[in-house]
Amino acid sequence: MRAEAQNNVDAIEKSLALLRQRIGWDTAEHRLEELNAMTEDPDLWNDPDRAQKLMRERQALVASMDGYTAMAQELSDSVELIELGEMEDDAEVVEDAEATLAKLRERAAAAEIEALLNGEADPNDTFLEVHSGAGGTESCDWASMLARMYVRWAEAHGYKVELQATTPGEEAGIKSATYKISGHNAYGWLKSESGVHRLVRISPYDSAARRHTSFSSVWVYPVVDDNIEIDVQPNDIRIDTYRSSGAGGQHVNTTDSAVRITHIPTGIVVTSSEKSQHQNRDIAMKALKSRLYQMELDRRNAAINEAHENKGDAGWGNQIRSYVLQPYQMVKDLRTGFETSDSQGVLDGDLDGLMGATLAMDVAGKSRAEANAED
């Protein structure tokens, strides 16, 4: 086997090993059996939220396992074909198998990065906003080009794209647009696109054909759903029973049926004083979970708002990526140093290389300064 083909095999095997670890392959079959049993429960859809969550988990697990198995089989088949082709001096068979390995290496690397999308909100649907910066018609046209780029990328990856709102530019393009992009890991993939995008080109709106620099900003944030699991640990709560006060007479409560639950980590106190102590425990626990649920929503929304406040103005100082169309062709991500001369391909939605480099950098824990220092 030639050195290039062997390098591809080694890289694919490394990606598959990381995928296998990420999936939890040793227990994945058992977990799938559990999920299959749960989905066959006739009472499953009595709780639609729980049912949908189970179905999503099962779908994601099946997709991960099937993807891993298919790539492992393709690797084995390609290596076998190369060995057979070399034994029989069939150069065409060897070349075809080597080309398959090169493509498989790219797919395995992409799958490896996607497997690292394990942030709390990564699997969620996402909102994507594009806003033109200063510069009038030029920036509005650039914002329109960016919006088209993301729609093309999303549709190519099988995501559902819905235009939520748009504000047209005065002469051309858009001042802003908001899209909802739905599908597994939509937010995880697109979250790295938040920031300011800079375009350099000869302006089609300038009769003197001068070069112009335009800015637009992109903001990506997850769709916060209602499927938040609230897990209350028994050792985190204190339950007190007491005699509820009443109007007296025959209706006075003579037993300690009222319930007070204190959530020790947060200090939240909830009470219920119906007639049945069992009923009161139920009511108070639901009230506690509702309070904790609201705290979780507030926390998530606060994180989203903080990201919004930190995205900065569309200008020189907050750029994440530069797109040059004239006098040469280049798209460069300023965080990772990743660059490509296929500017038109990027604007047509070929963003996987740029996104993958940023996600890999995030996983490695490198800062922008560290990434730039390695250039």
Residues 337 and 286 placed together within one structural domain of the fold: no
Distance in angstroms (rounded) separating the CA atoms of residues 88 and 97: 14
Cα 78 from Cα 300, distance rounded (Å): 46
Asked if 51 and 110 sit in the same domain, the reply is: yes
What is the tally of structural domains in the chain? Answer: 3
Q: Please tell me which residue, 110 or 252, carries the higher pLDDT value.
A: 110
Per DSSP, 245 falls in state P
Q: Are residues 79 and 25 in the same domain?
A: yes
Domain that residue 294 falls in: 234-303
Q: What SS3 state is found at 251?
A: helix
Same domain, 349 and 284: no
The secondary element (H helix, E strand) that includes residue 303 is: helix 277-310
Question: Which residues, listed in sequence order, are joined to residue 330 by a DSSP beta bridge?
Answer: 324
8 lies in some domain: yes
Are 31 and 101 contained in the same domain?
Answer: yes
Mean predicted lDDT score pLDDT of the chain: 84
Q: Where are the alpha helices (DSSP H) in 88-136?
A: 91-115
Check whether 272 has a pLDDT greater than 90. Answer: no
Q: Are residues 13 and 100 in the same domain?
A: yes
Residues ≥6 apart with Cβ < 8 Å to 69: none
| Whether residues 131 and 110 fall in one domain | no
What would the pLDDT profile of 54-93 be if each residue is shown by its tens digit? 888 888 889 889 999 999 999 999 999 999 999 999 999 9
Q: What is the pLDDT of residues 281-316, one digit of tens each?
A: 887 887 787 778 667 766 766 766 666 555 555 555
**Which tens digit of pLDDT belongs to each residue from 175-186?**
999 999 999 889
What does pTM read for this prediction? Answer: 0.64
115, 139, 172 — which closes off a domain?
115
Are both 325 and 367 inside the same structural domain?
Answer: yes
Residue 162, domain CATH: 3.30.70.1660
Residues 17 and 157 in one domain: no
Q: CA nearest 125: which of 225, 194, 46, 36?
A: 225
Distances (CA, A) of 298 to 180, 305, 325: 21, 10, 43
Could you tell me the CA-to-CA distances from 365 to 357, 360, 368 in Å, in that order? 12, 9, 10
